[in-house]
Amino acid sequence: MLASAVAMAARSVPYAVAKPAGKSFVAHASDLLPLKSTPINPDWIVSGNPQARTAEHSRGHDEASLTAIWDCTAGEFRWYFGWDETVMILEGEVHITAEDGTERTLSAGDVAFFAGGTWASWRVDNYVRKVAFLRKPFPKPLAIAYRLRNMLRNSGNQGIAA
């Protein structure tokens, strides 16, 4: 019942919202962003001495999304993804083992998604540099209401030619 009420209210909110304050366009050369040391949690390191650095590129006006450049030297570690994260490898490679045992080597040009709330093992043999697109997942009740709103909006658009 609450989800129905939220969905109905969300349906009445127009797609266009007020223009956000702040920058609406941000562009940088990824190799010119100043990287700052962001040490990996020592409890997560399996082997080696991986040194990670991060440069924030941009942040959504609602603080629910972030784009960053991240790099890391050789080492093996586990990583906890607190946010949903899509990565594109810019340079080098990394060997990933997901929680379900799936193994994959990602190299320049590869794109991968890691769901928030999950762990993965990373093994960097030499060096890896990536761009990371992060998004805070919605809390479950809000996610359900959001999906319901989308279903209601999409059901009204069926049969309309694009």
Average pLDDT over residues 34-63: 94
pLDDT tens digits for 151-162? 888 886 655 554
84: which strand partners? 135
- Residue 10 has a pLDDT of 43
Question: Residue 54: how many CA atoms within 13 Å on its side-chain side?
Answer: 10
pLDDT tens digits for 67-126? 999 999 999 999 999 999 999 999 999 999 999 999 999 999 999 999 999 999 999 999
φ/ψ bin of 60: left (φ > 0), alpha (ψ from -120 to 50), beta (otherwise)? beta
Q: Does residue 20 carry a pLDDT above 70? A: no
Number of helical (H) and strand (E) elements in the chain, helices listed first: 2, 8
Task: Provide, rounded to the nearest whole percent, the portion of the chain with pLDDT above 90.
Answer: 57
Single pTM value for the model:
0.74
Question: Please, what are the domains in the chain?
Answer: 36-150 (2.60.120.10)
* Residue 155 Cα distances to 17, 67, 141, 159, angstroms: 22, 33, 21, 9
pLDDT tens digits for 21-33? 567 776 766 777 8
